Structures are given as structure tokens and as C-alpha cells.
Amino acid sequence: MYNKIPGTKDILPDEVSWWQNIEQLSRSVFSIFNFKEIRPPIIEDISLFNRTLGEFTEIVQKQMFVIHNQEDTYALRPEGTASVVRAYLENNLDKKNGFMKLFYIGPMFRLERPQKGRLRQFHHVGCEAIGSFSSEIDVEMIALAEALLKSYGISGYKIILNSLGCLKDKARLVDILSKELKDKITELCEECNNRYGKNVLRILDCKNESCRKVVKKLELGEKHLCEHCLRHFKEVRSGLDTLKIPYEVSAHLVRGLDYYTRTVFEITHPSLGAQDALGAGGRYDNLVSELGGPDMGAMGFAFGMERLFIADEGKAKAQDEKLVYFVYLGPEAKKTAFKLMSESRAQGIKADANFENRSLKSAMRRANDINAALVIIIGEDELKKGTVTLKNMGDGKQEEIALDSCIQEIKSRL
């Protein structure tokens, strides 16, 4: 027997209906916000991620699923933004459409140490608005994130917001942080000691208790922001206030990836434990030009579907359609059953039959086990009279109905 590899999950039929429902709800909210779906490949040239996420980020350094080909090196995508921007530029969508609002739903891969809410194959519901520097886009994206959560029926989340500023501001933030942490290095964990020289912002994200203690005392505020970025951040907050979207500003929220600039946000939920982010995102105003495109602002975010499942406790399942189950007793009855079943299906009724030629008793048990709403029992004697038996599994009532009106009778009872 084989086992799945650590950090992956089998989504079994019972759970799939939750996934389908979340996907459908997402598609309908995206459509209401006028976003269009995009489906880039799951494998990309590894250099796309190295370049965009940042050489010293954890994803690039440790978490990439790498595929070595004879000449090339590919990677399973660890996130969606880089692929979407690549596809946007490669297919000239910047020239054909200019500003575009795109969404995607699909698996992502990171070679992490598996734990609650942290898998090696997980799924994102994500979106990108490419082609605008305007602060209204930031508001639109956060409003969209909230609308998605509301459509899933998830409450009790917190929206945390910060601005990293433009590239210059970000460099200033790195400077400020490096200075503030300089004489506290010995109090930081081993990993943060490494981060200090390479990706100092990431220290703010560290879950290690001793690092958190140090980080908590830092006074960061907005002193790294230039005049333009200060204004942009103010506009974003005022837009959210207008829409009455509650949020909390935290100068400690940085997001680890290199491409983020200006607005970053994270949505947390208390049900998630240590990995408490349901979703996250932010602006990436330099990424499009860095990948060879024009100077265009952009913003995106993604929810982790497995974490949505934890927060929702798998409750948002789609309503299953009601099932009619045909039970036949004898060769003539079998022919009639298959004709009726085929007619039912042609009319969009979910139908199944007791293919195993069971006894009436075991066929009825099976009908019960698979949650049939109605059972049509076809016996040879009744058939001669032109009737069949209809059993309503809800109240257990049984009645004889005319064979000719069977489909209408089924329809009127479902």
C-alpha cells in the first residue's frame, strides 16, 4: 500500500462539495466585482520565482519544489502572482487591455514542515488587479476580500493593514530595523540571526517567542514613508472608512516577499492557531516593469482554501441534489427501470439503480445508505398492471402510481 506524501491531502467526495461551493461562491463574487479568470500553468521556469519573490526569501531558499530537466530548471508554483504577471505580459494583455482584474483558483506548492494549516500542496483563491497605482484599487481589493469572506459565511476575522512604502521607503525601513535590532541580535533565534543580514523585514514575522518579545518593543510607525506613500496610505484608510470596512493598522506587518511595496494586508482568524492568516496580499508596483513590462502599479491577494476550511469548519457545503433510486425485481422490470432512469437523467433528475440485482430488502438498505429521496420499485406483477411503487424515503410512505406518469410524479415530489 502507498501513502500520500507528507503535507498533502486527499480531498474525499464528502468534502469535495465544500470545495466546489467555495469555488462557486468565489467565482460569483469575482464576477460581481468584474474580475476575469486566468489559468496559468502550474510549472514555470524557476528563475521567474527567484527573481520576483527575492533571492533571500524562505520560499526561494528552502521551499521550492524543483524539477530538473536536461537544460532547464522548472519549479512547481509556490504562489500565483508571478505567473499571472508573466502571463499578462507574455500574452500582451498590457497592450490589448491595459488595466485588468484577474482571478485564479488552484494548487500551490511549498516544501514546508507540515503542521496545522501548513501544507506542501495547498490551494489559493487569489486575484490581481494589474495596471494602476491608484489607492482606490487598494480599497477595491480589500473590499473584495471582505465580500468573499462574507459570501463563504466566515466571520470573526481581522483585517491588518500596513504600508511598506515605495522601494526607497522600504530600504529606509530595512535601515531603521537593522539599526534598532543591532544590539539585540543575541536575543533572536538562529534563523533570525541569518535573516538579519539578508531579509531583516522577515524578523517581524518570526513566531519564535524570544523574537516576538524583541519585535513587540520596536517602535516602527510611519517614519520610513515618503510624502507620496504617506498620502497613498491615508487615502486607502479613508476609502476603507467610507465603506465601513473595519481594519487595524500594524507597523509590524511586513510580508516576506521582495515584490511588495506600499499597502500590505493580512486577514487573520482566531480558529487557525499559530498559522493564523486566512489570506494576505498587497501592492507590487515594481514587479510588472521588473518582468519587462511597462511602469504599472498592481495589487493582489490570496486566501488559503485549507485555512478557510478550518475557519468555516467545513460547513459551507453545497446542497446535494435529491436522488431517485430505481429498484427492479426481474428481467422485464430491469428493462423498464433502465428506460425510466435514462428518461429521468435526460430531464436533469439525479438517478441511480441497484445494479447488483440485490434482494428488495438489501436494495432498500442501499437506498437508505446513499440518501435517496425517492425509490421507484418495479416488480414484474405490477408491471403487468401498468404500475410501479413510489416510496418517499423522508416519511416512509409508499404508493402505487401509473407507469406512464412516473417521471411527472417523480418531478412533482422532488
Binding site for ligand AMP (CB under 6 A): 79, 110, 112, 117-119, 122, 124, 277-280, 302-304, 306-307
CA distance 212 to 195: 14
Q: Which is nearer to ligand AMP, 141 or 333 (CB)?
A: 141
Residue 303 Cβ vs ligand AMP, minimum distance, rounded to whole Å:
6
Residue 53 Cβ vs ligand AMP, minimum distance, rounded to whole Å:
9
Residue 6 Cβ vs ligand AMP, minimum distance, rounded to whole Å:
12
CA distance 309 to 392: 34
CA distance 205 to 68: 32
Q: Which is nearer to ligand AMP, 109 or 326 (CB)?
A: 109
CA distance 397 to 27: 41
Residue 175 Cβ vs ligand AMP, minimum distance, rounded to whole Å:
25
Residue 388 Cβ vs ligand AMP, minimum distance, rounded to whole Å:
51
Q: Which is nearer to ligand AMP, 94 or 146 (CB)?
A: 146
Q: Which is nearer to ligand AMP, 9 or 317 (CB)?
A: 9
Q: What string of DSSP letters covers 345-388? A: HHTT-EEEE-TT---HHHHHHHHHHTT-SEEEEEEHHHHHHTEE
Q: Would you call 264 helix, strand, or coil by DSSP?
A: strand
CA distance 405 to 253: 65
E strands of 69-211, at which residues? 73-76, 100-109, 121-130, 158-163
Q: Which is nearer to ligand AMP, 306 or 312 (CB)?
A: 306
Residue 148 Cβ vs ligand AMP, minimum distance, rounded to whole Å:
13
Q: Which is nearer to ligand AMP, 272 or 401 (CB)?
A: 272
The residues that bridge with 60 in the sheet, in sequence order, are none
Q: Which is nearer to ligand AMP, 120 or 391 (CB)?
A: 120
First to last CA, the chain: 42
Which residues lie closer than 8 Å to 221 by C-beta, 6 or more apart? 251
Residue 272 Cβ vs ligand AMP, minimum distance, rounded to whole Å:
8
Q: Which residue is nearest to ligand AMP (CB)?
A: 304
* Residue-level length of the chain: 414
Query: For residue 335, how far is the Cα from the chain centroid?
Result: 46
